[in-house]
A and B are shown apart, each in its own frame.
Chain A
Amino acid sequence: MSGVRVLVGTRKGAFILTSDAKRTRWDVSGPHFAGWEIYHVKGSPADPNRLYASQSSGWFGQVIQRSCDGGKTWETPGGGVTMEPGGPKGESNKFVYDVTPQTGKPLTTHQWYDGTQHPWEFKRVWHLEPSLADPDTVYAGVEDAGLFRSSDGGTTWQELAGLRGHGTGPRWQPGAGGMCLHTILIDPADPKRIYVAISAAGAFRSGDGGKTWKPINQGLHSQYIPEPTAEVGHCVHRIALHPSRPKVLFMQKHWDVMRSDDGGDSWREVSGNLPSDFGFVIDVHAHEPETVYVVPIKSDSEHYPPEGKLRVYRSRSGGNEWEALTKGLPQRDCYVNVLRDAMCVDRLEPCGVYFGTTGGQVYASADAGDSWTPIVRDLPAVLSVEVQALP
């Protein structure tokens, strides 16, 4: 590996941070799409120069950006300037829920905060997950929760309507941040097996490439909903897996850190000795499938680290026993949050770990979490962090 490229989405633009494999000196590029909210930027595993970015604004709505040169230049897919009739249709930001009888039930409402039914309304793309094999195929998790797929490089999008239509959709409800589909995991051993997670509905699994879905929330316990062990309604914040063991899943829920060893059929709590089991991010070491990282947050009403100490917690035993990683991180007066898409690991040796904060810092560890250094300190609030190992 020649180096790494860290893709950072913030409230006011995207930034690209690059380094050689030592990961000690960094070049910072950006802001790209200055002034726009960038919920997520992610590269294709099949072509590291192919990047996708979700750009949005309360004024102008959703825009999808694509780069074919590693983020040097960007384009809106299928949206170039035209002087001729019949030119590009500019549909790369057209996310229309599928309500046709042919592809599932014409489902048009979900549960609102007050328990009444509310129409599904597209708001933004939270997460873009490129296919493992095809740079032109990419999945989008959106708010209000739904899963879309593009097979033409983001030019057009089609909903995988079986997720909303499998039966529990009318019982899904928004969390405080909206009803968002924020996690998309593709099983490297069987790409037709896809996991998604929705706040506040729970986790779901497809075994046929996204046509049909089932809830996988058995074992979750959420005291803040009328039926704490309900089939759906759980506020799952993030799920992670290791590519070598794709049926072992780790989950950071609203409260509780959870683990499944059977592809989500059942879950057990592994919060163990964490100072708080509330949090947003969770990820797995690139080379050690039992090594897991979380960033505990004080509570659902106080979104900052306990005691004002920013600590990553690492378990080397797949949960339950956790150690605080503090070297290089502020250990007093720190009241930032780390949002659900804002942690990732690289594939280098030793494994690199990265996370971004709502205070605008992006921290990197080139030694699997033993020590940390801020790559940048003063970005806008960080919404997402992804990393690519460059060939």
Chain B
Amino acid sequence: MIRVELPAHLRTLARVDREVTLDLSGLVTRAALLDALEARYPMLRGTIRDHVTAQRRPFLRFFACSRDLTQDPPDAPLPDAVASGAEPFLVVGAIAGG
């Protein structure tokens, strides 16, 4: 079971609590995690990654286990603690704007 924390506006959009849980089979990567998240919550498609290019939206970053994973390759394995559900995967919006 994978745990994902979403920023407030995406929680409202998906109508979920702070943390959502996903079941993934196979290698737990960021791409696989986001694929599973968007499959279960289709309204989030296009809000974290571009619909066509699958590129991260510029004002979002990804964290887990006190590490910034944003620049890691999307197909790189996520930390074991994320894969096991011990630690959440964080989608974080930049603190900017009004």
Contact = CB atoms under 8 A, between A and B. Distances in A.
B74 interface: no
Given A59-B59, A94-B51, A96-B52, A79 B42 contact: yes
A93 B13 contact: no
Contact of B60 (A35, A59, A82): A59
B39 A87 contact: yes
- Scoring B14, B38, B39 by chain A CB atoms within 10 A of each residue's CB, the highest score goes to B39
Contacts of B38: 90
Interface stretch (A60-68, A174-182, A189-197, A239-247): A60-68
15 contacts: A35-B8, A36-B9, A58-B59, A59-B97, A60-B48, A62-B46, A63-B13, A79-B42, A82-B42, A87-B39, A90-B38, A90-B42, A91-B45, A91-B51, A94-B46
Contacts of A94: 45-46, 51-52
A76 B8 CA distance: 17
B97 A58 contact: yes
A232 B83 CA distance: 56
Given A62-B46, A80-B43, A90-B38, 20 more contacts: A33-B12, A59-B60, A59-B94, A60-B9, A60-B13, A60-B48, A61-B47, A63-B47, A79-B42, A79-B45, A81-B14, A81-B40, A87-B42, A89-B42, A90-B45, A91-B45, A93-B51, A94-B51, A94-B52, A96-B52
A80 B41 CA distance: 7
Contacts of B65: none
Interface of B: 7-10, 12-15, 38-48, 51-52, 57, 59-60, 93-94, 97
B24 to A, nearest CB: 14
Interface in A50-64: 57-63
Interface in A80-102: 80-83, 85, 87-91, 93-94, 96
Contacts of A85: 39
B51 A82 contact: no
A61 B9 CA distance: 11
Contacts of B43: 63, 76, 79-81, 90
Interface residues of A, number: 27
Contacts of B10: 60
B42 A59 contact: no
A78 interface: yes
B19 to A, nearest CB: 15
Given A80-B43, A91-B45, A96-B51, A59 B57 contact: yes
A57 B9 contact: yes
A79 B39 CA distance: 10
A78 B42 contact: yes
Contact of A82 (B40, B94, B97): B40
B17 to A, nearest CB: 13
A80 B42 contact: yes
Nearest to B16: A81
Nearest to B41: A81
B92 to A, nearest CB: 10
B7 to A, nearest CB: 8
Contact of B42 (A34, A62, A88, A96): A88
Interface string A353-373: 000000000000000000000
B9 A90 contact: no
B61 to A, nearest CB: 11
